[in-house]
Amino acid sequence: MSAFFSDPAGLCLAVTVVLGGIVLCKLKTTLGHVGRQTCLASLVGLWGGACLLSLSLFWGLILFSLSCFLMYTYLPGHKWLPVDQKAVLITGCDSGFGHALSKYLDQLGFTVFAGVLNEKGSGAEELRRMCSKRLSVLQLDITNPAQIKDAHSKVVEKMQEKGLWALINNAGVLGLPADGELIPMADYRQCMAVNFFGTVEVTKTFLPLLRISKGRLVNISSMAGGVPMEGLAAYGSSKAALSMFSAIMRQELSKWGVKVSLIQPGGFQTNIGGTSEMRDKMEKNLLDHLTPDVHDDYGRDYILDQQNCFRCMNTQASPDMSPVLLDVQHAISAKSPLAFYAPGKSSYLWFCIASFFPTAVFDYLNKRNHGQSNLPRALHSLHCKNNAT
If one counts the domains in the chain, the total is 2
95, 62: one domain? no
96, 68: one domain? no
Tell whether 212 is covered by a domain.
Answer: yes
Name beta bridge partners: 114: 90, 137
Task: Tell me, yes or no, if 298 is annotated catalytic.
Answer: no
219, 255: one domain? yes
Tell whether 197 is covered by a domain.
Answer: yes
Mean pLDDT per 10-residue interval, the chain, length 389 residues: 49 55 50 47 52 56 63 62 93 96 97 97 96 97 98 94 93 91 94 98 97 96 93 95 98 98 91 76 87 90 77 75 96 95 89 91 84 73 62
35, 101: one domain? no
Of the candidates 72, 235, 298, 348, the residue annotated as catalytic is: 235
Tell whether 136 is covered by a domain.
Answer: yes
Tell whether 59 is covered by a domain.
Answer: yes
Tell whether 82 is covered by a domain.
Answer: no
45, 178: one domain? no
- pTM comes to 0.81
Q: Decide which of 74, 97, 126 is a domain's last residue.
A: 74
49, 92: one domain? no
pLDDT for res 257 = 97
Q: Domain residues for 61?
A: 2-74
Tell whether 384 is covered by a domain.
Answer: no
Digit-coded pLDDT (tens) for 193-202: 999 999 999 9
160, 214: one domain? yes
Tell whether 366 is covered by a domain.
Answer: yes
91, 70: one domain? no
362, 300: one domain? yes
Tell whether 14 is covered by a domain.
Answer: yes
60, 93: one domain? no
pLDDT for res 23 = 53
pLDDT for res 73 = 55
